[in-house]
Amino acid sequence: MLKRKFEVLDSSGIIEVESIETIGKKKIPSFGTICKVVIKEVSPKVSKTYLKGNLLHGLIVLDTKKHKDKDGSSFWYDKRGIIIVKKNNKGNWTPIGNRILSPIGEYLEKSKNIKLILNDPELI
């Protein structure tokens, strides 16, 4: 699996993480993939809650790789972005942070096993 560094796009206080492995059948992390990540950089305000080197899960929402839609259009982003998530009692993935600091595409909102609580009305 490719190790990639991602910028964290939620209000959890984690600044940067590195992906270790994907969860599921995909071997290369891309849009909508949940993967295991290691914390590389943390904000000083939350340094007691999350330590550098801790293992968490993340949902990839932005990637520099080109993505093609079913209608034939393609898009990509300038940076890699991830949202830190955890599994709740019902088996759904929910974000750790209260706010998501980036717009999220409709293809991620319609996913069955991911429940995202959006505070940002802006969608791609």
Number of CB atoms found within 10 A of residue 123's CB: 11
> Domains in the chain, please, with CATH?
5-109 (2.40.150.20)
pTM: 0.80
Token pair for 102: 């980036």
Per-residue pLDDT of the chain (124 residues; tens, 9 = 90+): 678 899 999 888 899 999 998 887 777 777 788 899 999 999 888 767 888 889 999 988 888 888 777 788 887 788 889 999 888 787 777 888 878 777 776 666 666 555 554 444 443 4
Q: For residue 6, give the 3-state DSSP assignment.
A: strand
Query: CA-to-CA distance for 20 and 17, rounded, in angstroms?
Result: 10
